[in-house]
Structure 1
């Protein structure tokens, strides 16, 4: 009886402990919900909201004894360790390139040259806008930066060519998201780094004997889907142009100097992007080279006076500061969440679907699509990926395939009404904002094409392995019977060989 009573008391204590842990973890969920509400309703920068919410809940957790105060002392070392990463060292260089593209008429020049090249098409200005975005968006870094560049340089040219305000807005919205999926954009490189950390955490938890995914794997996995997105976007533009009764006019042919500028800039950017994609160049080297090339071309063409250079440097510092502030805020926020044990709560909830990996992956991708209504790509990478990806990668072996799906879902999420990030941003940056219903009428073929592409990549993961030579090592699958037998025979022969 005494033993039974003792076990009963221990069981009640264990239940109470689990219940208390659940309550503490629920505080972290409330913290996450409050942060999202603050981002949507306050109008403050995301980093300011995250830091404020983190400070309030950290103080509350320490006061309640739920968060160990010593955990917070690790924050400075964690931030310094992150800032030493080479990808983050490349971030100011990417910001410099984006500022140059926003302030200089290079995008306008490239659009004029591209429009002239496809002048026989009924929708040449739209096709050229997609091409310019595909070329420059990976160097711009984010959806917001691409929107600002396209709205300033490409959208006015499209309107002068006779493109309707509705089609101009739709084209700019879609074009601004191409930098999310076309490698090797900064978004893709940072996601690759985040996936490597998440995969490392998953492998440490499961003790699986697999190779950890790296950024190069993610770049290769995203290459074919990125190309397919670009081709689908061009096909949708051409198809919608067939239904148009008016032919969009072609402006004056570009000058010889503009043609040479377009050719040199295009060749340089393609060479740099290809170098990063195949692993010949590091992101820092490519960004530095691209910045120098753009700077030299601008100086030679006398397009960069001192006043404009000061504005470019000011924009670079502002964007770099905002992104690093976001990184610090997201790191602080995630540390406090882990202090509450919310990461374990999320892991336990997702692992309840571990026996159904496809359902687990779909639920996470759906949640990320919803988060994309509120968060930009960088915010998703810094804040959401570290929480949800480790439990997914414990059940799904191919981390690079998952990363490619994440990129496709994020890009589509930015285009979905009513609060898709690209749609909302376009209404504030375009000179002629377009109503949501009008945008939806223009965007539905794009949604359909990208949804079909996501379904295809989900059904046939081999699409992402076409450019990955080490498919088997990355998939994490165990060797088949023939491979095991071959290895055993080799081991026996090695033992029988004379010493």
Structure 2
């Protein structure tokens, strides 16, 4: 009975979250409840809790995690300054005269937004408010319009600079060090966020390409479902440059400085936030009232992330105190089949947990449990991080619990049925599973670029 307590703890947290309790307090509260009962019953060694202050201080004092509020600030500034709206209008004028042109525009703008905001909910809601009414008005099938927006919004999970990758990088780095200590490595290495950004670049671009190919195929086979726009004017070259160049230059500067090693993710995030503020100011979209709204929104999301992080640290400590690491490792060993079966089981579990948990909870609760075990089995940490990010991106689309579906349902008109959303995302789920399979078969898609860049340094 006692040896199964870690799994009972995990199930109790899932039940608390399904019941609607706040994530951070569900994690910490469940852990402290089990620790208290265990101390009274003699099952839990209270000396484990003495490590809690140092662990919390190390979490809050983590320089890498300082990039999180800065990337959030950058994304909120770009979202509130109407840059996305102008980008979408420009792209629609550029491609809108061809069948499927508006869908292509939504995918391209969504990819740029994903690279700037890094927040799935913000991208889905923004694209839903800006593009869904236009797509429906111009005769797009509701299923194609909603599916395109949902799928494009989830690109924020994988296209760098992604907040999900920042958090995954920090968690996997700790897990990698623990795995190396188990293997008696004298100088444990770390996993840098920059390596994850580089590893995600190629799969992210391939996924965008698959989305574009899907829309083009529909336009060729069934153009009535994605009709061209006939009442839009030409877009002047000057306007195209003015609307497209500044955000693209900002994204390239932020991401490029990380990839070439000129700046850490935290430094690049600070530059990105400053650049986004300058862009908003140049457009006259940053009055004092809006600046306050941006600050409050950034503070709210940042506090949520760090409170979940603290709760996850408490949960992880108690979980290990009950021998959860050894339990999970023994379960993997009993499965048989080696590394491949272990990775498949973990990916399936993360996919299913993505229905009820956000990526932050999975990153801070699930990854620290399974990460050290998989990495000790020889799994590449960069490849594992990209697989997890792609997996979560797929689970956020999958009915009936996909988070992206909830976000879009909240802003979609009543004329759009929920079944339209489900039908619309189905082809994109297939494309994402295809990308996941390609990455499983060819790990070099994620590892070749980081390895090549490291060889140049």
TM-score of the superposed pair, with normalisation by structure 2: 0.90
Indicate the residue corresponding to 2:196 in structure 1. 218
* Aligned mate of 1:244, from 198, 209, 223: 223
1:272–1:286 contact (8 Å) kept in structure 2: yes
Structure 1 position 206 matched with structure 2 position 188: no
Structure 1 position 416 matched with structure 2 position 398: yes
Q: Deviations over 1:415-452 (max 9, x none)?
A: 11221222233222434484443223222322222222
Q: Provide closer, same or farther for how the CA distance between residues 108 and 52 of structure 1 changes in structure 2, counting only shifts above 3 A.
A: same
Matched position secondary structure for 1:229:
helix
Structure 1 position 122 matched with structure 2 position 122: no
Q: Provide closer, same or farther for how the CA distance between residues 374 and 281 of structure 1 changes in structure 2, counting only shifts above 3 A.
A: same
Q: Provide closer, same or farther for how the CA distance between residues 299 and 217 of structure 1 changes in structure 2, counting only shifts above 3 A.
A: closer
CA distance in 1, matches of 2:191, 2:65: 19
Structure 1 position 313 matched with structure 2 position 295: yes
Matching of residues 275-286 of structure 1 within 5 Å: 275-286=257-268
Matched position secondary structure for 1:378:
helix
Indicate the residue corresponding to 1:485 in structure 2. none
Indicate the residue corresponding to 1:101 in structure 2. 78
Indicate the residue corresponding to 2:42 in structure 1. 65
Indicate the residue corresponding to 1:260 in structure 2. 242
Structure 2 unaligned residues grouped into runs of 5+: none
Structure 1 position 331 matched with structure 2 position 310: no
Q: Provide closer, same or farther for how the CA distance between residues 301 and 456 of structure 1 changes in structure 2, counting only shifts above 3 A.
A: closer
Structure 1 unaligned residues grouped into runs of 5+: 1-22, 474-499
The one of the two structures with greater contact order (alpha-carbon pairs below 8 A, sep at least 6) is: 2
Structure 1 position 46 matched with structure 2 position 23: yes
CA distance in 1, matches of 2:331, 2:144: 43
2:409–2:418 contact (8 Å) kept in structure 1: no
1:102–1:152 contact (8 Å) kept in structure 2: no
CA distance in 2, matches of 1:384, 1:124: 40
1:134–1:182 contact (8 Å) kept in structure 2: yes
Structure 1 position 30 matched with structure 2 position 12: no
1:269–1:290 contact (8 Å) kept in structure 2: yes
* Count of paired positions: 450
Indicate the residue corresponding to 1:184 in structure 2. 161
* Aligned mate of 1:302, from 276, 284, 304: 284
Matched position secondary structure for 2:98:
coil
Tell me by how many angstroms 1:355 deviates.
5.4
Matched position secondary structure for 1:183:
coil
Q: Deviations over 1:261-297 (max 9, x none)?
A: 3321222222222222333222122221122122122
Q: Provide closer, same or farther for how the CA distance between residues 58 and 290 of structure 1 changes in structure 2, counting only shifts above 3 A.
A: same
Q: Deviations over 1:189-229 (max 9, x none)?
A: 22122222112111211235885543333333222211111
Matching of residues 65-464 of structure 1 within 5 Å: 65-207=42-184, 212-242=190-220, 243-245=222-224, 247-249=227-229, 251=232, 259-353=241-335, 356-432=338-414, 434-464=416-446
Q: Provide closer, same or farther for how the CA distance between residues 308 and 263 of structure 1 changes in structure 2, counting only shifts above 3 A.
A: same
Matched position secondary structure for 2:96:
coil
Tell me by how many angstroms 1:147 deviates.
2.1
CA distance in 2, matches of 1:424, 1:46: 18
1:34–1:53 contact (8 Å) kept in structure 2: yes
Tell me by how many angstroms 1:241 deviates.
3.1
CA distance in 2, matches of 1:258, 1:302: 19
Tell me by how many angstroms 1:466 deviates.
2.9
1:112–1:254 contact (8 Å) kept in structure 2: no
Q: Provide closer, same or farther for how the CA distance between residues 67 and 435 of structure 1 changes in structure 2, counting only shifts above 3 A.
A: farther
**Deviation larger for 439-448 or 406-415:** 439-448
CA distance in 2, matches of 1:200, 1:213: 9
Q: Provide closer, same or farther for how the CA distance between residues 278 and 190 of structure 1 changes in structure 2, counting only shifts above 3 A.
A: farther
Q: Provide closer, same or farther for how the CA distance between residues 115 and 355 of structure 1 changes in structure 2, counting only shifts above 3 A.
A: same
Q: Provide closer, same or farther for how the CA distance between residues 113 and 470 of structure 1 changes in structure 2, counting only shifts above 3 A.
A: closer
Q: Provide closer, same or farther for how the CA distance between residues 437 and 356 of structure 1 changes in structure 2, counting only shifts above 3 A.
A: same
Across the aligned residues of Structure 1 and Structure 2, the Cα RMSD in angstroms comes to: 2.5
1:375–1:421 contact (8 Å) kept in structure 2: no
Q: Provide closer, same or farther for how the CA distance between residues 68 and 429 of structure 1 changes in structure 2, counting only shifts above 3 A.
A: farther
TM-score of the superposed pair, with normalisation by structure 1: 0.83
Tell me by how many angstroms 1:63 deviates.
1.8
Q: Which has the larger radius of gyration?
A: 1
